[in-house]
Amino acid sequence: MSATFWEERRREMVERQLAGRGIADPRVLAAMAQVPRERFVPEELRPHSYDDGPLPIAAGQTISQPYIVAYMTEALALRGGERVLEIGTGSGYQTAVLAALAREVVSVEIVPELSRAAGERLRGLDIANVRLVVGDGREGFPAGAPYDRLLLTAAPAEFPAELLAQLGPEGVAVAPVGVDRQWLVHYRKRRGEWVCETSLAVAFVPLV
């Protein structure tokens, strides 16, 4: 399939699945139009790269639905100068989208082979403002703290408080939380206190 074919599929995805459902940040829409999702899915599933849903990847994990990637990214309100901590590198697709919008992304993945494969994909796309770490996502990466933004791509039963401690005073965190029922939660500081708001019902793999 030609580069033009994939560009057209990305354009359709942005128009129908994202802008058509209320994603309005032009920088997020541009990043989603730029990052080649087909490079982040298993070869046998590439014809489905821009389907409106998640897809399986290695180690029992998934690459999230494009709309959810865009929704969570937009909720971070990135302006270009932020350092982002991502928990759950997975395929590296969300990482690449974040890297297009932030100054630096530190991404933690507990499965070494997923981290290695994601690194190869990101290097193949000349994405250099990403640091990949193999480790327990519940612990984050305190050596690189403080961060401006935090994004979880796997769902803990309860939000790990130690991750919020790695955010700076203007920090924002977005994460799926729950077991049988999961909700997307947003943490922001107001008058020095963390405030949690709930938005979408979601279905993510559990944080392990």
Query: pLDDT by residue (tens digit) across 104-139?
Result: 999 999 999 999 999 999 999 999 999 999 999 999
Question: Which token pair is 148?
Answer: 């401006």
Residue 14 lies in a domain: no
- Cα(33)–Cα(29) distance, integer angstroms: 6
Start-to-end CA span in the chain (Å): 36
Is the per-residue pLDDT at 191 higher than 80? no
Is the per-residue pLDDT at 29 higher than 80? yes
Residue 8 lies in a domain: no
Residue 195 lies in a domain: yes
The count of structural domains within the chain is 1
Residue 44 lies in a domain: no
Residue 187 lies in a domain: yes
- Cα(43)–Cα(50) distance, integer angstroms: 13
Strand-pair partners of 198: 185
> Is 64 part of the annotated catalytic residue set?
yes
Residue 18 lies in a domain: no
Q: Which domain, by its residues, includes 115? A: 52-202
- Predicted pLDDT of residue 190: 79
- Predicted pLDDT of residue 189: 82
| Domain containing residue 111: CATH number | 3.40.50.150
The pLDDT of 158-172, averaged and rounded, is: 93
Question: Which token pair is 97?
Answer: 């989208």
**Residue 85 dihedral angles phi and psi, to the nearest 5°:** -100, 120
- Cα(83)–Cα(106) distance, integer angstroms: 8
Residue 16 lies in a domain: no
Catalytic residue among 64, 91, 107, 115: 64
Please state, rounded to an integer, the average pLDDT across all residues of the chain.
96
Q: Is the distance from CB of 125 to CB of 39 less than 8 angstroms?
A: yes
- Predicted pLDDT of residue 168: 93
Longest Cα–Cα distance of the chain, Å, equals: 52
Percent of the chain residues topping a pLDDT of 90: 93
- pLDDT (tens digit per residue) in 30-79: 999 999 999 999 999 999 999 999 999 999 999 999 999 999 999 999 99
Residue 115 lies in a domain: yes
In Å, how far from its chain's centre is CA 75? Answer: 11
